[in-house]
Amino acid sequence: MPDVEQAEIYGRRPPWYLRLPAHLLLAAGGVFFLLPLVWMVATSLKPLDQTMRYPDSLQSAFLGEGWKAEIGGKTCDVVLERRVAPAPDRPFFIVQPKAPFAAGEMTHPFGKDVWDRYPVFNKQELVRMNATVEPGMNVLADDVNRFDPAAGILRLQSGRALSATLVRHIDPVAEGDELWVVREWRAEDTDTKEVGSTGGDVTRAWDVVAKSQLQKTVRVIPENYPVALRRVHFVRCLLNTLFLCTLVVLGVTISSMVIAYGFAFLEFKGRDLIFGITLATMMIPFPVTMIPVYLLYRDFGWVGTFKPLWVASWCGSAFFIFLLRQFYLGLPKDLLDAARIDGCTELEILWLVIVPLSRPAIAMIALFTFLGTWKDFLGPLIYLNHEAQFTLSLSLQAFASEHGGTPWHLLMAASTVFSLPLIVLFFCTMRTFIRGIAMTGVKG
Amino acid sequence: MRHVHFGLLAIGILVFCVAYFERPPKLEDFDPVRDAEFAKTWNQRLHLAYWEKWGSFERDACQAMVDDFNRSQEEIFVHYINSGQVDRKAMLAIVGGCPPDVVGLWATNVQPFASGGALMPLDEWMAKSGLSPERYTPQYLEIGQWEGKTYALPTTPASVALFYNKDHFQAKAAELRAAGLDPDRAPRSIEELDRYAEVLNEFNPDGTPRIMGFLPTEPGWWNTLWGYYFGGTLYDERTGTVTPDDPANLRAILWVKRYAERYGRDKMLQFRSGFGNFDSPNNAFIEGKVSMEMQGVWFPNFIRRHRPHLNFGVAPFPTAEGVPGPVSFLDSDVIAIPRGCKHPEAAWKFIVHSQQRGLEILCRMQGKHMPIKDPPALFRQGHPNLELPVFEQVAASPHSFIRPVLSVWQEYADELTRAFDHIWNYPVAEAELKGLSGKDLDARIEALCRPEVERTYAEVRDIVQRKLDQQQLRADMRKRKGDG
Amino acid sequence: MKAELRRAITGYAFILPWLVALVVFIGYPFFAAFYFSFCDFPPLLKPMFIGTENYRQLVIDPVFRRSLAVTLIYAAFAIPFGVFVALSLALLLSARIRGQTFYRVVFYLPHLVPSVVVALLWMWIFNPKFGIFNVVLGLLMRVADAWTGLFFRLSADGGPLVHPAAVLLLVGPVAALLAYGPWLKTSASTRHGGFRFAAATVLALTVLTVAFAVLCWLLPEDMRKLHSPGWLADGTSFPSVVKFAPSWALWAIIVMGMWSVGQMAIIYLAKLQDVPVQLYEAADIDGASWWDKTRHITLPMISPVILFNVVMAIIGTFQVFTEPYIMTRGGPEDKTRFVAMFIYDQAFQYQNVGYASAVAWFLFLLIVGLTMLAFQISKRHVYYAGR
């Protein structure tokens, strides 16, 4: 088979006015083919709230945005926690309490004794509610937690009142501007679902800032990757996937090698009939046998183990047997005859003569099987139960179908890591690949 | 000879790998955190697998319930296993002969699972453990029943109500008053809801909506059940027939269709596709794109997460004029023991806990009410859902309804969804509606669509009724043969 | 006699694993499915024989009819479309220009992304509001509107249907006549190559412009929708005048399928390079144009591969599962409920293994029929070298 790079079919190199449109078309197509992948990588570096947002510019379609603000003389990444709108009849203040209290008292109409008594809130929320507001920390006094500047008393939502000192008034801003409570953002926030995930974490720096004072920044979060990999139990899943891939690749190549040899070079009664049936089985669509095969494995007691996913591969695969047989038949027959005359057994001929000659075809089969096993999702979905057994593609899907919304940024990070080995493999073995792809399109 | 050695080594490694990975995974191997906490009694306990659907803060609630059970005794240890699409996975595992010990299903799964023999009946155990059926709100208990037996018990119940954005109401207070509506309360009938919605709508200069007062397809989870708010039902238990073409149901779908035509099908489609995930700050209601919406008891949790200062109110969802209310759709997550489970007795002990102290923990932490008639006195104190009374009220209403208890419900629901989409998309030429408004417009829309609505829903009735009859027939055949 | 027996033993020993697979993993399930198709069989109970009841139901079941129609419509549009795109791509990729290795890699890359990820990715791309597809499509449509608006009236307001500028459209046909007219056929074509190409381009542009205007007149609704389609959420068919046209949701899945056409293109590409160079050299001497060479040499030489791939694609159509399962769950209005999904739902959702088996078997027969039809039709058009 001639190499892709060498043979050029249409004889001459086309003139420039044909080359140009060809380049244009290919480039346009290339964009269509690459854009989704670029988006995948771009999304994997965004914060979650930026993944479902209407892009107002090309830059914001691919780069996550965030805000920076000056808090206490230091510029840092912030989250816009909420908008506040003080009015003359509802003035807002920043105050410092004189006694400590739990942060949750500002957001709930009951005190710490109540939430301590009953397990009501989830861990994260509880940590935030239990955080102590020390004297000297700034607190926002709004229309829920009211501050009486004359008396110097802060009335919390929980009903408790304590004395506090005024730090400053919050003045209403000009028409068209907005006031926002901003709080320091940290990279670990990418793990949580909430956008205002820092909301209420009193230990972080915060301030009330006019929107016109905020600066837009590009926010690229490589931390999405470790977070995503931890969530899918990456190492365990990778080991499982590699285990399956090894067994299946070995099984398919070895068995197809041997079986194809039988079909190609050994003559016995019924061979052609069986080969015909083999070809015909390729026409059976997968849904036909799906259910009985499942029931069969159940009767073997194999559901919930890896066996249904690899044992059958040691019995060969119709398509690869067919391919390999075609390849064998193209080999020079005299070598075989010579070996037979030398008194080699059939197995020896296979191992010493045929296999070395058909290395490219075998490599191709191995590659394609690897690809198929790595990507397979329906098989593991049906047969594996225990989280410790999950393969990568299955853990990815479980991650995506988590009830209550998909963490797109983490999903895309995991997907990128998942596709990366295949892309690297493709680059390393491009020649085998392209030759192999060519072979799969053989004459019917 | 060297490569023979290599070959042997390779085979050896392979065999080792197979042995290592094919070892049946034990539950206790994959829970290191809890292993440490329960180290003393870890090995003497019986380990059970509990599959649940929850992934986020609801998961914390389930885990808290499970932890509470694990601490309360020393014989059994339950592992909470979070599983996406738990119903499909559970069905496959039950068919495959390796089910979990306890499984948390959706309400819609109970009848199909039970009629296929996938769940164990719980009545005898209930009688032994003193869990009396009278304890429960009847509708919630019925969700888990099939042919007179209880197969699943409710864990966290749901009821729905009308959420409305008080800020939107206040911003349009003058216009609402001008239309003879009170901006300080929610609408009390569907006709009133339509009038509120009309006032609350806001459009961009190009005619596309910016805020919709109300959208019957948002969130779109109960599209098939609108008929109940017009006094209809989907199944007539007396005659054993399905009634999707009940006049009240047709009225409901025509009401929905009016929204599609008044504001434009395509515009609504574009508008809706601009909404983010339900559980995100871009949720239509949380973001303020929709002023009124039907939502469930869980919704305040999400508002608190994404926009804690949203000024919203909750009221029973209105019914059509003349239909007694309040009406709410009642749903529940359920807990059950799959057939083929290896330790049913131990699993039952866990279920008993999940129905007593566990139930309280679970419902509080998920911000829901309890599916029982008399919740413990302390249940309401410090409950994180401040709107709880409204949901308790609609859940206790005699007019509230559950899905028809049918083994073919899933097919039925699929057909209803298809019919709903079909009517929503049924083309009405714009020219036909030109120049009409108000009642005339509604009358014209109804006149144009009614024949198609009647045809579509009659077709649904025929398809589902045939399935129902056929399933009945086959079940009878099996009984006569003494199998199943 | 003994030698023959010995040969048979060796032979069967070699193919023994495959025999096991053939019997246990293929043959048994295949015939078991056949038996189940005559049974009522919830998977946890024993199968109960009920005769041809399942097949009778299959004939009258409108849900199944709908899902079969969806699958066939998809096949009828996606397969020819796919072959066309893959072939064009292969021809482009085989052109002798710089950077081909890079292009080939780019076009193959999508095949390496797992289908779950692909489905999730394209859900976002097809979002009518946020999705990048509608942004680009809207832009293209506005350009097309502006361009066609120079020559024709597209909006509904009064005035002449054709603007005076439409006279310019005559340039195309005239140029084509000059370039391809019979009087030039004999002269050496290479010198006029540039001119001929330009003429072809102008003609193509003219045809496209007129076609666009005509479509805007005939199908104003559809063309308006094309500016910003609802894709996966829209169950209405496009174009709306064709009764069996795919719905917008189905179009979305067809377009998405084009994304993984790289595999096919590479297959064709490899086969293109098997075509003996001498044939092209001979054609060059005869003064054949690029189109002549493509039509009379390239296509016939690779026709067996096309046939093979079409047959595989037909089989593949009946297995489409992951994409609709993740992206639409069969909606809107069942317009993307492919048969494979129907079977899965019947078996695992509704616990109706008997009926699912009947459908699966019906499918199998249909595939055999379609494949035979493909071979029959292609008999005249497929050229097998050496036969």
The answer to the question of residue A279 being in a domain is: yes
Q: Which of A291, A298, A317 to mutate to test the interface with C (most CBs of C within 10 A)?
A: A291
Express each pLDDT in B426-450 by its tens digit: 888 877 888 887 788 889 999 999 9
Tokens representing A397?
């899907």
Domain CATH code at residue A290: 1.10.3720.10
Are A406 and B309 within 8 A, CB to CB? Answer: no
The answer to the question of residue B2 being in a domain is: no
B57 touching A, CB under 8 A? yes
Residues A203 and A334 in one domain: no
Residues B177 and B285 in one domain: yes
Of A407-416, B122-131, B444-453, the one with minimum mean pLDDT is: A407-416
Chains with 3 or more CB pairs closer than 8 angstroms to A? B, C
C297 touching A, CB under 8 A? no
Are C333 and B94 within 8 A, CB to CB? Answer: no
CB B208 within 8 A of CB B190: no
Inter-chain CB pairs, A–B, below 8 Å: 129
A285 three-state secondary structure: coil
Are C117 and A415 within 8 A, CB to CB? Answer: yes
Residues A236 and A354 in one domain: yes
Distance of residue A27 Cα from the nearest chain B Cα, in angstroms: 30
> How deeply is A91 buried, as exposed, middle or buried, from its count of CB atoms within 10 A (0-12, 13-18, 19+)?
middle
Q: Which of C351, C352, C353, C355 to mutate to test the interface with B (most CBs of B within 10 A)?
A: C351
Distance of residue B188 Cα from the nearest chain A Cα, in angstroms: 29
Q: What is the reported pLDDT for B30?
A: 67
Residues B182 and B250 in one domain: yes
Confidence band of B189 (pLDDT split at 50, 70, 90) = very high
Chain B residues close to C61, C-beta within 8 Å: 463
Distance of residue A107 Cα from the nearest chain B Cα, in angstroms: 9
Structure-model confidence comparison of residues B323 and C351, the more confident one = B323
Taking the CA atoms of A13, A17, A23 and A25 in sequence, report the sign of the dihedral they define. negative
Residue of chain A whose Cα is closest to the Cα of B303: A194
Domain span holding position A289? 232-401
Residues B142 and B94 in one domain: yes
The answer to the question of residue B187 being in a domain is: yes
- The most confident of A215-219, B41-45, B402-406, by mean pLDDT: B402-406
Are B477 and C45 within 8 A, CB to CB? Answer: no
Chain A residues close to C94, C-beta within 8 Å: 8-10
Interval B110-134 mean pLDDT? 91
Residues B243 and B224 in one domain: yes
The answer to the question of residue B13 being in a domain is: no
Residues B164 and B312 in one domain: yes
Residues A121 and A258 in one domain: no
A288 touching C, CB under 8 A? yes
Chain B residues close to A246, C-beta within 8 Å: 14, 17
Of A190-199, A391-400, B177-186, B216-225, the one with minimum mean pLDDT is: A190-199
C272 touching A, CB under 8 A? yes
Number of domains in chain A: 2
The answer to the question of residue A412 being in a domain is: no
Q: What is the reported pLDDT for C182?
A: 61
C143 touching B, CB under 8 A? no
Least CB-CB distance to A193: which of B64, B97, B279?
B279
Residues A248 and A148 in one domain: no
Residues contacting A60, CB < 8 A, separation 6+: A50, A53
Interval A398-405 mean pLDDT? 64
Express each pLDDT in C268-296 by its tens digit: 887 787 777 788 778 877 777 777 778 88
Residues B234 and B307 in one domain: yes
Residues B66 and B121 in one domain: yes
Q: How far apart are CA A145 and CA A161, in angstroms?
A: 9
Residues B431 and B299 in one domain: yes
Strand partners, A70: A75
Residues B262 and B370 in one domain: no
Residues B74 and B146 in one domain: yes
Residues B324 and B458 in one domain: yes
| pLDDT > 50? residue B98 | yes
Interval A163-188 mean pLDDT? 83
Taking the CA atoms of A303, A304, A306 and A307 in sequence, report the sign of the dihedral they define. negative
| pLDDT > 60? residue A1 | no
Chain C residues close to A426, C-beta within 8 Å: 105, 108-109, 112
Distance of residue B435 Cα from the nearest chain A Cα, in angstroms: 35
Are B410 and C349 within 8 A, CB to CB? Answer: yes
Domain CATH code at residue B374: 3.40.190.10
Residues 314-373 of A with CB under 8 A from B: none
Q: How many other C-beta atoms are found inside a 10 Å radius of the C-beta of residue B198?
A: 15
Q: What is the reported pLDDT for B265?
A: 83
Place of tokens 């005939």: C218
Domain boundary among A219, A246, A269: A219
Residues A198 and A288 in one domain: no
Q: How far apart are CA A100 and CA C44, in angstroms?
A: 62
Distance of residue B359 Cα from the nearest chain A Cα, in angstroms: 12
Least CB-CB distance to A22: which of C97, C273, C344?
C97
Place of tokens 């797992």: C114
| pLDDT > 90? residue B226 | yes
The answer to the question of residue A345 being in a domain is: yes
Residue of chain B whose Cα is closest to the Cα of A386: B25
Domain boundary among B343, B361, B396: B396
Domain boundary among A219, A244, A259: A219
The answer to the question of residue A182 being in a domain is: yes
- The most confident of A306-320, A425-439, B275-289, C87-101, by mean pLDDT: A306-320
Structure-model confidence comparison of residues A63 and A5, the more confident one = A63
Inter-chain CB pairs, B–C, below 8 Å: 85
Q: How far apart are CA A44 and CA A62, in angstroms?
A: 10
Structure-model confidence comparison of residues C289 and B251, the more confident one = B251
Chain A residues close to B279, C-beta within 8 Å: 193, 404-405
Chain A residues close to C281, C-beta within 8 Å: 11
The answer to the question of residue A326 being in a domain is: yes
CB A241 within 8 A of CB A374: yes
Of A25-29, B97-101, C158-162, C359-363, the one with minimum mean pLDDT is: C158-162
Interval A176-205 mean pLDDT? 72
Are B421 and C333 within 8 A, CB to CB? Answer: yes
Q: What is the reported pLDDT for B31?
A: 66
Domain boundary among A189, A219, A249: A219
Domain boundary among B360, B377, B396: B396
Residues A268 and A129 in one domain: no
Least CB-CB distance to A396: which of C28, C112, C116?
C116
Mean pLDDT of chain A: 82
Of A278-282, A307-311, B294-298, C216-220, the one with minimum mean pLDDT is: C216-220
Chain A residues close to C304, C-beta within 8 Å: 443-444
Of A5-14, B163-172, B210-219, the one with minimum mean pLDDT is: A5-14
Residues A75 and A212 in one domain: yes
Alpha helices in A167-270 (DSSP H): 224-231, 234-265
Q: What is the reported pLDDT for A8?
A: 42
Number of domains in chain B: 2
Residues A177 and A248 in one domain: no
Q: What is the reported pLDDT for B60?
A: 79
Q: How many other C-beta atoms are found inside a 10 Å radius of the C-beta of residue A110?
A: 17
Segments of chain C scoring below 70 in pLDDT = 1, 155-160, 180-193, 383-387
Are B478 and C48 within 8 A, CB to CB? Answer: yes
The answer to the question of residue A416 being in a domain is: no
Q: What is the reported pLDDT for A250?
A: 93
Are B96 and A397 within 8 A, CB to CB? Answer: no
Domain boundary among B366, B396, B426: B396
Are B95 and C43 within 8 A, CB to CB? Answer: yes
CB B99 within 8 A of CB B345: no
Residues A309 and A254 in one domain: yes
- Domains of chain C by start residue, with CATH: 62-116+237-387 (1.10.3720.10), 129-228 (no CATH)
Residues A152 and A199 in one domain: yes
Residues B189 and B317 in one domain: yes
Q: How far apart are CA A60 and CA A250, in angstroms?
A: 46
Name the maximum alpha-carbon separation found in chain B: 100
Give the gyration radius of chain A's Cα atoms.
Answer: 33
C57 touching B, CB under 8 A? yes
Chain B residues close to A406, C-beta within 8 Å: 277
Domain span holding position B340? 46-158+333-396
Residues A95 and A161 in one domain: yes
Distance of residue A52 Cα from the nearest chain B Cα, in angstroms: 6
Residues 55-84 of A with CB under 8 A from C: 55, 61
Interval B216-221 mean pLDDT? 88
Mean pLDDT of chain B: 88
Q: Which of A84, A237, A385, A390 to mutate to test the interface with B (most CBs of B within 10 A)?
A: A385
Alpha helices in A76-132 (DSSP H): 112-117, 123-130
The answer to the question of residue A320 being in a domain is: yes
Q: What is the reported pLDDT for A3?
A: 38
Q: What is the 3-state secondary structure (H, E, C) of B19-56?
A: HHHHCCCCHHHHCHHHHHHCCCCCCCCEEEEEEECCCC
Q: Which long-range contacts (CB under 8 A, 24 or more apart) does B30-33 make?
A: B30/A386, B30/A387, B30/A388, B30/B79, B31/B79
Q: What is the reported pLDDT for B34?
A: 65
Tokens representing B160?
């729905």
The answer to the question of residue A168 being in a domain is: yes
A125 touching B, CB under 8 A? yes
Q: Which of A50, A140, A402 to mutate to test the interface with B (most CBs of B within 10 A)?
A: A402
Inter-chain CB pairs, A–C, below 8 Å: 294
Cα end-to-end span (Å), chain A: 18
Chain C residues close to A34, C-beta within 8 Å: 106, 109
Alpha helices in A376-407 (DSSP H): 378-383, 392-400
Interval A362-379 mean pLDDT? 87
Residues in chain B: 484
Residue of chain C whose Cα is closest to the Cα of A427: C105
Q: What is the reported pLDDT for C185?
A: 53
A291 touching B, CB under 8 A? no
| ipTM score | 0.80
A332 touching C, CB under 8 A? no
CB C298 within 8 A of CB C271: no
Are B477 and C40 within 8 A, CB to CB? Answer: yes
Q: How many other C-beta atoms are found inside a 10 Å radius of the C-beta of residue A352?
A: 11
Residues contacting B32, CB < 8 A, separation 6+: none
Chain B residues close to A250, C-beta within 8 Å: 14
The percent of residues in chain B predicted with pLDDT above 90, rounded, is 49
Express each pLDDT in A322-357 by its tens digit: 888 888 888 888 888 888 888 888 888 888 888 888
| pLDDT > 70? residue B105 | yes
The answer to the question of residue B238 being in a domain is: yes
Of A254-258, A438-442, C201-205, the one with minimum mean pLDDT is: A438-442
Q: What is the reported pLDDT for B436?
A: 81
A115 touching B, CB under 8 A? yes
